[in-house]
């Protein structure tokens, strides 16, 4: 199988992560919208101060979680990012970081759930489709994985890790089909 979503993601620029509509602000002005980083300490959001979780602000949890993820401590990162996600459930940045940490920690079902939240909010997010596809493949659902990986590869055919992951999942499906039919090599 291809690299995990966290490893493939690190080399991408933030503007490549999703379509521009994910980053649009809501006209209501309330709360953190999908596609935005959590509010920095003291930053106003809809007239309220940044929410705290167990004495820490969400942005600090997010930044510390990213640092842990980048240093290879995926399980610890996932714990902090889960707390940040509770405080900022609509933050696309927090959800993506959480999904990457969950995937890297080997918590594939949880990672699939987090990536699915992003996909449901923004179906045109190629990276979330890719991450969801990889996570589903790791949970043993190559059929569903192929669907999401095909979408990601169609959106960004120039990204080899997308097409490689799709090719691997399709090979798994083909091998399983041959085994069921009794025509395996």
**Predicted TM-score (pTM) of this structure:** 0.72
What φ, ψ does residue 3 adopt, rounded to 5°?
Answer: -55, 160
Cα–Cα distance, 48 to 42 (Å, whole number): 9
Residue 27 CB partners (closer than 8 Å, separation 6+): none
Q: From the centroid of its chain, how far is CA 75?
A: 15
**Structural domains of the chain sorted by starting position, each given as residue range(s) with its CATH number in brackets:** 5-181 (1.25.40.10)
Cα–Cα distance, 130 to 111 (Å, whole number): 12
Output the tens digit of pLDDT for each of the chain's 185 residues: 445 675 444 333 332 333 222 222 222 333 333 444 554 433 333 333 334 444 479 999 999 999 999 999 999 999 999 999 999 999 999 999 999 999 999 999 999 999 999 999 999 999 999 999 999 999 999 999 999 999 999 999 999 999 999 999 999 999 999 999 986 55
Residue 176 CB partners (closer than 8 Å, separation 6+): 142
Cα–Cα distance, 19 to 9 (Å, whole number): 15
Cα–Cα separations (whole angstroms), residue 23 to 26, 43, 121, 125 = 9, 18, 12, 11
């Amino acid at each position: 199988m291809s690299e995990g979503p966290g490893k493939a993601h690190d080399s991408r620029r933030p503007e490549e992560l999703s379509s521009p509509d994910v980053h649009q602000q809501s006209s209501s002005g309330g709360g953190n919208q999908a596609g935005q980083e959590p509010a920095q300490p003291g930053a106003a959001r809809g007239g309220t101060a940044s929410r705290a979780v167990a004495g820490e602000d969400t942005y600090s949890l997010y930044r510390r979680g990213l640092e842990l993820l980048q240093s290879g401590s995926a399980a610890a990162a996932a714990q902090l990012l889960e707390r940040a996600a509770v405080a900022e459930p609509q933050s696309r940045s927090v959800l993506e970081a959480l999904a990457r940490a969950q995937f890297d920690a080997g918590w594939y079902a949880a990672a699939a759930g987090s990536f699915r939240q992003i996909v449901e909010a923004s179906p045109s997010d190629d990276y979330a489709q890719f991450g969801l596809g990889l996570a589903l493949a790791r949970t043993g659902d190559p059929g569903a994985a192929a669907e999401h990986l095909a979408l990601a590869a169609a959106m960004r055919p120039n990204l080899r890790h997308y097409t490689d992951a799709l090719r691997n999942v399709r090979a798994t499906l083909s091998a399983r089909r041959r085994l069921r039919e009794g025509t395996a090599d």
